[in-house]
Amino acid sequence: MDKIIDRFKRYIAIDTRSDENSNTCPSTKGQLELGALLVEELKELGLDGIKQDENGYVYATLKSNIDTKVPTIGFIAHLDTSPDLDGKCTNPNIFLYEGGDIKLNDQYIMTIKEFPFLKDLIGKRLITTDGTTLLGADDKAGVAAIIDAIEYLTLHPEIKHGDIKIGFTPDEEIGRGADLFDVEGFGADFAYTVDGGPVGELEYENFNAASVKVEIQGKNVHPGTAKNLMINSIRIAMELEGMLPVEQKPEYTEGYEGFYLLVDITGSVDHTVVNYIIRDHFMDRFEEKKAYFKKIVDFLNDKYGNIITIEIEDSYYNMKKKIEPHMEIIQLAKESMQELEIEPIIKPIRGGTDGARLSYMGLPCPNIFTGGYNFHGRFELIPIESVKLASQLIVKIIENNAR
């Protein structure tokens, strides 16, 4: 257990925040630094085909130790962390949790009232932030679990397995993780992203997703003489937001319910830019949401005189369509969990993963847990026992696939 803690701490100390404003791949140098570190670790484990390509993707193969032909499995995690907060966690708290609220620092406390799942973690060794950074468990816990599992297999050659492919991707958090992934070169028949939350999560459904950019060109005149002349672009942006269904906002939705999210707004009386994302698990409702957004813009253009432009771009689609013809992949993961006495939690992802894009690129790729909680913020935490369970699940999937 100490070994996986040391490995995880080594990874989270490198700031790998991705940057959506960058045009490079990877979008930040820290991801190259972590990738180079992983290359050296994979070399120490004696893997084949190890490389970090010019775009920061890391690939490796653990060669088969059996004569029979079995499906080639891949395991994939992402190198970057969310841009939402400082990603260099050099002062994590590691402790045996005995219950109660968790004080991160003098300003931030993780309370049981806000996070009731803490009651289920009593007796676990937790890793939290010090309240000033992300922890980076999303997805460095996935990286650690994969490396730990591969190390275990190299130390236990009696465990029979086919070819195992490893992939680490950049820029997943900004939606680019699969953009330049070499599916053909990767050579897996199917794969799992190790990028989920609490223990037991097994996911093969996710949102259909689109981004929306709205630009509003107002008319700024002196407020003292503005009557019948001024067109305040900020106010029109507020009017647009007010016309979207209130009940279809993220803070009011769950399960299979989709939403519109106002991501950011910048502007002045003269000119305003508004960015949204649209999400829905069902393609018909997804298309309806996009059409309704356009209808609102058409209405406001009729009202104010064609001063609004809109760009809607699809980001990714629900992987369910691509996984359902290969449900043996889900059954393999489910049975492997049950053998480890892990209760499978099969539910839709209220988000997206590299696996969604990769599934549409010809690599069926559902998602399994890392064990973490509260991703993308200072309250992120993970029980180290859960990372170890993710590692053990990877080994069990590999072992069962070879039978």
Its domain, for residue 275, covers 208-316
pLDDT on residue 281: 97
Q: Are residues 54 and 119 in the same domain?
A: yes
Q: What distance in Å separates the CA atoms of residue 399 and residue 273, rounded to the nearest whole number?
A: 52
Helix-helix angle 2-12:137-155, to 10 degrees:
140
Q: Are residues 264 and 343 in the same domain?
A: no
Which of 291, 316, 341 terminates a domain? The answer is: 316
pLDDT on residue 353: 80
E strand or H helix that includes residue 326: none
Asked whether 169 and 177 are in contact (CB, 8 A), the reply is yes
Q: Are residues 85 and 58 in the same domain?
A: yes
Q: Are residues 15 and 108 in the same domain?
A: yes
Catalytic residue among 41, 80, 203, 380: 80
> Would residue 80 show up in a list of annotated catalytic residues for this protein?
yes
For 19-38, write each residue's pLDDT tens digit: 989 999 999 999 999 999 99
Q: Are residues 169 and 233 in the same domain?
A: no
Q: What is the mean pLDDT of residues 224-252?
A: 97
Asked whether 183 and 361 are in contact (CB, 8 A), the reply is yes
Helix (H, G, I), strand (E, B) or coil at 58: strand
For 148-168, write each residue's pLDDT tens digit: 999 999 999 999 999 999 999
pLDDT on residue 395: 98
pLDDT on residue 175: 87
Residue 331: strand pairing partners: none
Q: Are residues 304 and 201 in the same domain?
A: no
Catalytic residue among 41, 138, 139, 172: 172
Count Cβ atoms below 10 Å from residue 369 Cβ, excluding itself. 27
Q: Are residues 310 and 322 in the same domain?
A: no
Asked whether 363 and 183 are in contact (CB, 8 A), the reply is yes
pLDDT on residue 352: 81
pLDDT on residue 400: 98
For 307-343, write each residue's pLDDT tens digit: 999 999 999 999 999 999 999 999 999 999 999 999 9
Residue 216: strand pairing partners: 272, 308
Helix (H, G, I), strand (E, B) or coil at 137: helix
Helix (H, G, I), strand (E, B) or coil at 116: helix
Which of 263, 294, 316 terminates a domain? The answer is: 316
Which CATH number characterizes residue 273's domain? 3.30.70.360
Q: Are residues 80 and 40 in the same domain?
A: yes
pLDDT on residue 351: 85
> Would residue 239 show up in a list of annotated catalytic residues for this protein?
no
Q: Are residues 232 and 112 in the same domain?
A: no
Which of 316, 341, 367 terminates a domain? The answer is: 316
pLDDT on residue 305: 95
Which CATH number characterizes residue 325's domain? 3.40.630.10
Residues in the chain: 403
Total domain count for the chain? 2
Q: Are residues 77 and 129 in the same domain?
A: yes
Q: Are residues 221 and 326 in the same domain?
A: no
Q: Are residues 67 and 171 in the same domain?
A: yes
Q: What is the mean pLDDT of residues 347-372?
A: 94
pLDDT on residue 254: 95
The model's pTM is 0.92
